[in-house]
Amino acid sequence: SQTIHQWPATLVQPVGSPLSLECTVEGTSNPNLYWYRQAAGRGLQLLFYSVGIGQISSEVPQNLSASRPQDRQFILSSKKLLLSDSGFYLCAWSVSNVRNEQFFGPGTRLTVL
Amino acid sequence: AQTVTQSQPEMSVQEAETVTLSCTYDTSENNYYLFWYKQPPSRQMILVIRQEAYKQQNATENRFSVNFQKAAKSFSLKISDSQLGDTAMYFCGSIGSNYQLIWGAGTKLIIKP
């Protein structure tokens, strides 16, 4: 069976510090991978998606970036965090080339102080 | 472009009652998929039910069923015999040929004891 992991679960960082959130998927190959951000009580905002290693599409221009160094690894980064980067970050995967549902990780709660 | 609209920001019902959450969408495609996700206080995103647009029969999963009206572009979720554990945010989503899941803003559902 497939599983998706995210870490850390919770993170408190000062403004201007770097960020690295990691997401890994097990039990599947060549998945589509997604990063979402969710503000409190709000919907999901797609940040990045990837259909393969090194292939990243950005949906929202901002100070965040994403990388996919391995088939089942997706990393969300920032060189300098802003207060507005606070939120709940969700990673998801789906079967490639299929209009299928997305499966979500447990999320990371990021607080920028 | 696809859009998804959830017009009910918040709903509350008594335990054991039936509740219907509304969702409308707009797409020019013929082949697409629709989903309902649940996000309880733990913030884990859980797939509730999916519907293929080419299927006329409404999807059902135990106490959860949909009323899919393709001509009206409506996709409502009915929860029968509601339980306290159904308290959550509910998100409607649509996916088309670009494999991107378009999300509604969500409906907060509160089941009262």
| Share of residues in chain B with pLDDT > 90 (%) | 81
Gap between the Cα atoms of A101 and A93, Å rounded: 9
113 residues of chain A, pLDDT tens digit each: 889 999 999 999 999 999 999 999 999 999 999 999 998 778 888 999 999 998 998 888 688 999 999 999 999 999 999 999 999 999 999 988 776 789 999 999 999 99
Check residue B89 and give its pLDDT: 96
Q: pLDDT grade, residue B28 (50/70/90)?
A: confident
Gap between the Cα atoms of B84 and B56, Å rounded: 31
CA A63 to chain centre: 14
Of B45, B99, B106, the CB nearest to A99: B99
Q: Do A43 and B105 touch (CB under 8 A)?
A: yes
Distances from the Cα of B37 to the Cαs of A91, B32, B48, B64, B76, in angstroms?
Answer: 15, 16, 5, 11, 12
| Share of residues in chain B with pLDDT > 70 (%) | 99
B chain contacts of residue A32, beta-carbon cutoff 8 Å:
99
Q: Could you give the maximum distance between any two Cα atoms of chain A, in Å?
A: 40
**Which residues 78-107 in chain B show a CB within 8 A of chain A?**
91, 95-97, 99-101, 103-106
SS3 A30: coil
Gap between the Cα atoms of A42 and A12, Å rounded: 21
Q: Other CB atoms closer than 10 Å to residue B4's CB: what's the count?
A: 23
Check residue A96 and give its pLDDT: 81
Kindly report the backbone phi and psi dihedral angles of residue B69, in degrees, each rounded to the nearest multiple of 5, phi listed first: -115, 95
Contact (CB, 8 A) for B38 and B88 = yes
B8 touches A at CB < 8 Å: no
B chain contacts of residue A88, beta-carbon cutoff 8 Å:
43
